[in-house]
Amino acid sequence: MTSEASTEGGLRLSKAVNLLLPVSLFLLLISFSGVSAQEVRSGWDLVDGGTVSDLHTAEAINGEIWAFGDGGIMLKSLDGGSTWIGNVIAEGYNWSHSDSGYNSILIATDDGVTIILENIGNGENDSNDNIPIFPGQFPINDVALTGSQEFVTVGENGEIWEFDGDEWINRSFGIVNDLLSVSFLDGEDVGLISGEEGIILATDDGGASWDYRDAPGELSTVDIVDIEYFSSIRAYAISEDGHILKSSREGSLAVGFVWSIVEIEREYPVGGSNEFVKGGTELDYDASSIKVLSQSKIMLAGPSGYLSLSKDGGNIVSRQMIPVSNNTSFNAFAMQDGFRGVAVGDGGVILRTENAGSEEFVGFEVADFNDFGQFVDYSKERLMDGLVATAKIVFFGILMGFSLGIILSMLKTSPTTLKNVAQTNRYQLLIMVVLVPLWAILKVPVSVFNIIGVIFGSKKRHHDIGSNNWVMVNPLDSTLISYREKAAQIAASEPLNILAIRAVGLVLISFGVYRILSNLDEISALNLDGWEHIYSPIGAPSAVFWIILGLAIAVLGGIFLSCNGDFSIRDLKVRKTEFSLNPWGIRPLNTIATAYTDIFRNTPLLVQFMFIHFGFELGRRMQDPGLMLFNFEYLQGNANFLTDIFVVYETNPESLGYGRPIGGILEDRAYISAIFALGLNSGAYQCETIRGAVAAIPSGQMEAGRSIGLNYMQSMRLVVMPQAIRICIPPLGNEMVNLVLNSSLAMIIGYAEITRQGKLIVATTFQVFWTWGMVLVSYFLITWTLALFLRYLEERTRIPGLGISGGA
């Protein structure tokens, strides 16, 4: 007794230690999570332009950058914005609008006064004397050079004027709203105008005639403050409320016909934080100017120090750090290429960048991956996603593998032989094929009802049936018993019906032979020769399947046909070799399970992954009918935690992904295939592990179980399996850890688990040592936690005196 007590104490202590380790590790992880905060640096450099006047507009052309502002101020930089030469042109005019092209820059005031600076970049036009000033006709909001070296201005109350070099032509056509921005495709006669109340106009004849274009209906009361015709396939605009509008060429429709509001998935606020504002169509900050750098790279500027960049057409917008006060209002960009250029703003502020304003050290943008903290900041999110993805396939894989392993090991150890099959009489057949399945189906609701009964206070159980309680009995119980009795009576009164068995045998042979013959043609049509026939299961899968099955059925039929009522052993003599073979001793269930394990244990898992996903397309075959079953319309009112396991749909009507699967097993084909590949493979191995443990249980345990009247399944379930599972926890742990490690192969079918994420991280950061090291650590943490859990489970379920465990 004392030794037992001390053992208990020892167990408790080590249990506590086992639990303490992962918990403390977890706490350690959490406590370190805030350490990697870094000094924030801006991607913009403040340069001195030598003025404090507000700068309203800027242009970059022919290697020079020009900026214009109040009081006729005009700044020029020949070195990409580092140093500036100041000048004043036409003092008294506040230059607010500009456009450039044909080696010229066009500038204009709000009153419509315009100047064209020509021959930019050839060094000739350093003197600004004698430049013709075109007097203003009316207030304007924007100017743009057209494709024919003319220019167009837009203004209040729908004013559109075109200047053809000599005189002004009124192109207004009855619009009363203010027009706010105009943009032409460089060197072309196609242009766009945006204005109040969501107006978008377009021209394809250099501004002579304008047509309405459909802006999205949501913007009918919103002003579109800036528009840029970037290329023949892309144009962008921005509204006063922060909508980013995008237009692409769609088929034969040119840019500008179809406009969509960009779904802003994430908006990073200023600084290096990884926190972001999620969702929506409006920016959190006001923007007044948009600059398109490439088809999908846009920069935005606005009041309150707003400068931001999106590299994916506005889906992810990250606000940038600036080296000046947030009170600065930014008015315009002048970019020499996709990276280098300046932003100008009020108070003579000029910011210069060589990296489109991206901070090198912060945010999700380009980070310095030689700094481990930055590297971790970048990669942790991906690794965490991978960890979750791995955990998902591992969880379902283990679930599937273990259930399959138990079933297969039961099949493999099943004692049912052909002799038992042949001795089955018609009532037993009826019981097995019809009654037992029905009984099992009814058992579920009955058990649920009874469990509810027990929970709600009725302590009466099974044996009290008939007394005053409300325990439900399976309605098929009595039928089953009476049929069992009948079956027993038949077995006793009727001798074995050899004739019937032989008749069945004959039918089986005929069926088998028919199946073989009818499928042979397909095999010969494959034109295989000699050893090539080993590949015929791939060339004609169903034919080979039917031929093998036909052979098995024919052999079975032959055995049945040979029945003479004596199921004892038969010695066969082939030539001079004697061997004993008892066909009645063949165990059909064992044969099926053996075939399964042989296939899955004798092929590489990697190939199984590829065959299952790409070859057999299991993912597609499961996904399509699955999604049809759990379709969006059906689940809209009926989704619950069970259907969530299969599929979750995006149900927010405002989301772009509305009605599309966003979660659950059916969401991703690779996910489905990965679960099945892992589960099917692991099941084959776990089957052998469990079978080994069952074999290790002394046969006397089964005998003892049977001797008190338990049937085979009861003895298995109540006596053998509880001991076998305890024995095989260590090797099953092996299998489960293996399954976790094998899950890395899922990357080959495109499933985004940790290893694949590692590959992606390497592709961005080139930090191979750190990346793969962190992937290793991630795997170690999963498997080690699993191993600790299994160790705990092993000690928890250990029975004193059962097995040699080193402890008790």
Q: Which helix (H) or strand (E) holds 689?
A: helix 669-696
Nearer to another protein, 10 or 722 (CB): 722
- Does position 464 interact with another protein (CB under 8 A)? The reply is yes
- Does position 323 interact with another protein (CB under 8 A)? The reply is no
Structure tokens at 638: 């009926």
CB of 801 to another protein, least distance (A): 1
Return the amino acid letter for 361.
F
End-to-end CA distance of the chain: 12
- Does position 239 interact with another protein (CB under 8 A)? The reply is no
CB of 791 to another protein, least distance (A): 19
- Does position 10 interact with another protein (CB under 8 A)? The reply is no
Stretch of residues binding another protein (CB under 8 A), selected from 28-36, 376-384, 651-659, 707-715: 707-715
- Torsion angles phi and psi, residue 777, rounded to 5: -60, -40
Nearer to another protein, 7 or 734 (CB): 7
- Does position 718 interact with another protein (CB under 8 A)? The reply is yes
CB of 547 to another protein, least distance (A): 33
Instruction: Count Cβ atoms below 10 Å from residue 763 Cβ, excluding itself.
Output: 9
- Does position 81 interact with another protein (CB under 8 A)? The reply is no
Return the amino acid letter for 692.
G
- Does position 726 interact with another protein (CB under 8 A)? The reply is yes
Nearer to another protein, 7 or 643 (CB): 7
CB of 504 to another protein, least distance (A): 18
> Which of 126, 709, 769, 806 contacts another protein by CB under 8 A?
709
Residues 379/71, Cβ–Cβ less than 8 Å: no
Count of helices and strands (H, E) across the chain: 21, 34
- Does position 325 interact with another protein (CB under 8 A)? The reply is no
Report 569-608 residues binding another protein (CB under 8 A). Answer: 569
- Does position 423 interact with another protein (CB under 8 A)? The reply is yes
Nearer to another protein, 370 or 489 (CB): 489
> Which of 316, 710, 737, 787 contacts another protein by CB under 8 A?
710
User: What's the Rg (C-alpha) of the chain?
Assistant: 40
> Which of 18, 94, 701, 734 contacts another protein by CB under 8 A?
701
CB of 601 to another protein, least distance (A): 29
CB of 729 to another protein, least distance (A): 13
> Which of 17, 433, 488, 768 contacts another protein by CB under 8 A?
488
CB of 800 to another protein, least distance (A): 5
- Does position 19 interact with another protein (CB under 8 A)? The reply is no
DSSP for residue 431: I
Nearer to another protein, 498 or 788 (CB): 498
> Which of 304, 447, 489, 636 contacts another protein by CB under 8 A?
489
Report 492-521 residues binding another protein (CB under 8 A). Answer: 492-493
Half-sphere exposure of 403 (CA within 13 A, CB side): 8
Q: Which helix (H) or strand (E) holds 267?
A: strand 266-268
Nearer to another protein, 727 or 745 (CB): 727
Stretch of residues binding another protein (CB under 8 A), selected from 141-149, 336-344, 347-355, 719-727: 719-727
Report 245-284 residues binding another protein (CB under 8 A). Answer: none
- Does position 135 interact with another protein (CB under 8 A)? The reply is no
- Identify each DSSP E strand in 631-779 by its residue range: 648-649, 661-663
For residues 447 and 463, what is the distance between their CA atoms, to the nearest angstrom?
Answer: 14
Which residue, 304, 294, 271, is CA-closest to 356?
294
For residues 22 and 783, what is the distance between their CA atoms, to the nearest angstrom?
Answer: 12
Q: What is the DSSP string of 364-402?
A: SSS--TTSHHHHHHHHHHHHHHHHHHHHHHHHHHHHHHH
For residues 191 and 237, what is the distance between their CA atoms, to the nearest angstrom?
Answer: 13
* CA 376 from centre of chain: 21
Structure tokens at 757: 């994420």
* CA 35 from centre of chain: 29
Nearer to another protein, 37 or 473 (CB): 473
- Does position 4 interact with another protein (CB under 8 A)? The reply is yes
Query: How are beta strands 330-335 and 341-345 bridged, if at all?
Result: antiparallel
Nearer to another protein, 550 or 705 (CB): 705
CB of 493 to another protein, least distance (A): 8
- Does position 656 interact with another protein (CB under 8 A)? The reply is no
Stretch of residues binding another protein (CB under 8 A), selected from 126-134, 159-167, 319-327, 795-803: 795-803
Which residue, 260, 265, 261, 307, is CA-closest to 288?
307
Contacts of 36 (CB under 8 A, 6+ apart): 373, 374, 376, 377
Angstrom CA distances, 722 to 117, 218, 693, stand at: 92, 65, 10
Stretch of residues binding another protein (CB under 8 A), selected from 39-47, 180-188, 403-411, 695-703: 695-703
- Does position 482 interact with another protein (CB under 8 A)? The reply is no
Instruction: Count Cβ atoms below 10 Å from residue 769 Cβ, excluding itself.
Output: 8
> Which of 706, 762, 781, 792 contacts another protein by CB under 8 A?
706
Q: What is the DSSP string of 486-539?
A: HHHHHHHHSPP-HHHHHHHHHHHHHHHHHHHHHHHHHHHTT---GGGGGGHHHH
CB of 681 to another protein, least distance (A): 30
- Does position 722 interact with another protein (CB under 8 A)? The reply is yes
Which x/- pattern, by CB under 8 A, does the window 424-463 give for another protein?
-------------------------------------xxx
Stretch of residues binding another protein (CB under 8 A), selected from 71-79, 491-499, 592-600, 648-656: 491-499
CB of 545 to another protein, least distance (A): 34
Residues 138/127, Cβ–Cβ less than 8 Å: no
Nearer to another protein, 587 or 726 (CB): 726
- Does position 800 interact with another protein (CB under 8 A)? The reply is yes
Which residue, 109, 130, 110, is CA-closest to 118?
130
- Does position 480 interact with another protein (CB under 8 A)? The reply is no
Stretch of residues binding another protein (CB under 8 A), selected from 380-388, 590-598, 704-712, 744-752: 704-712
For residues 647 and 625, what is the distance between their CA atoms, to the nearest angstrom?
Answer: 12
CB of 712 to another protein, least distance (A): 9
Nearer to another protein, 518 or 805 (CB): 805
Q: What angle do CA 366, 372, 377 make, to 5 degrees?
A: 55
- Does position 802 interact with another protein (CB under 8 A)? The reply is yes
Nearer to another protein, 304 or 489 (CB): 489
Stretch of residues binding another protein (CB under 8 A), selected from 13-21, 174-182, 313-321, 793-801: 793-801
Contacts of 554 (CB under 8 A, 6+ apart): 508, 509, 511, 512, 513, 516
Q: What is the DSSP string of 668-688?
A: -HHHHHHHHHHHHHHHHHHHH
- Does position 714 interact with another protein (CB under 8 A)? The reply is yes
Structure tokens at 696: 């290790």
Chain contacts with another protein (rule: CB under 8 A): 4, 423, 461-464, 484, 488-489, 491-493, 568-569, 698, 700-701, 703-711, 714, 718-719, 722-723, 726, 799-802
